[in-house]
Amino acid sequence: MKRNILVLFGPPGIGKGTVGKALSEKLNLPLISAGDLLRSEVKENSDIGKKASAFMNAGSLVPDELVFEALKKRITSSDAKEGFLLDGFPRNLAQADLLDCVLDSQDHYLVLNLTGSDTVLIERLSQRRICAACGAIYHLINMPPRSEGVCDTCGGLLTQRNDDSPDVIAHRLEIFRKETEPVIGRYRKAGTLRTVKADATLSETMAQIAEIVGGN
């Protein structure tokens, strides 16, 4: 079967999770987030989780084979057979190779390269709050919850991610520039890269994406 695969590519804080959720509802495709998969492995204290947690707390990349092990199970599950959205994978050239191995020549495949300035990224990451129960993402100024500290959707407690502290944010941005950004050249060459300016509002970002993937 021909799958519809969209990779959400971009630095931490650019909004891959927020855009991914909106796009997932619009296109009716599951959103598969490498970071969320790893965080649930850590929560379950699985073998993968135990090995991954120190890397994640430091804002470094988890070893490729561990991430891929968690991801492969999810990509091949039945709800992803018509396609999926990928958030946070690939994050280096070796991971791009791993992803190529699970793609089929029939798949319709695009990489949405979300871009924005470091000032916007740092501001978004430091104002970000996550629901501990359902994972919903808030921004204290641009997308605040109706009542402080409480998730609108499920009533769960809003928390700040361990790795959203200023020193870890700086390290994550550095890793992005060094290890992740070089992947762009490869997709540009393959003709699958589409660049989207994602530093304004969600609806402006979604409007640009609609022009690329179709629909309103």
Q: How far apart are CA 165 and CA 173, in angstroms?
A: 12
Name the one range near ligand AMP by CB under 6 A: 3-11, 52-60, 130-138, 195-203.
52-60
Tell me whether residue 73 is exposed, middle or buried, using C-beta atoms within 10 angstroms of its C-beta: 0 to 12, 13 to 18, 19 or more: exposed
Does residue number 83 form part of the binding site for ligand AMP (CB under 6 A)?
no
Residue number, 118 or 211, with CB nearest to ligand AMP = 118
Residue number, 34 or 193, with CB nearest to ligand AMP = 34
Residue number, 29 or 164, with CB nearest to ligand AMP = 164
CB of 214 to ligand AMP, least distance (A): 26
Closest CA to 209 of 1, 20, 11, 2: 20
CB of 75 to ligand AMP, least distance (A): 13
Residue number, 16 or 194, with CB nearest to ligand AMP = 16
Closest CA to 112 of 50, 22, 2, 51: 22
Among 20, 49, 88, 116, which residue sits at the site for ligand AMP (rule: CB under 6 A)? 88
User: Cis peptide before 90, with omega less than 30 degrees from 0?
Assistant: yes
78-91: b or e for each residue (b if 16 or more CB lie within 10 Å)?
eebeebbbbbbbbb
Does residue number 31 form part of the binding site for ligand AMP (CB under 6 A)?
no
Q: How far apart are CA 23 and CA 209, in angstroms?
A: 9
Residue 199 DSSP symbol: S
Report whether 52 contacts 62 (CB < 8 A): yes
Among 30, 55, 110, 208, which residue sits at the site for ligand AMP (rule: CB under 6 A)? 55
Does residue number 89 form part of the binding site for ligand AMP (CB under 6 A)?
yes
Structural tokens at position 66: 């561990």
Name the one range near ligand AMP by CB under 6 A: 21-29, 59-67, 114-122, 136-144.
59-67
Residue number, 185 or 215, with CB nearest to ligand AMP = 185
Among 70, 172, 173, 206, which residue sits at the site for ligand AMP (rule: CB under 6 A)? 172
Closest CA to 205 of 196, 192, 194, 216: 196
- Note the residues at the interface with ligand AMP (CB under 6 A): 12, 34-35, 38, 55-56, 59-62, 67, 88-89, 91, 95, 163, 172
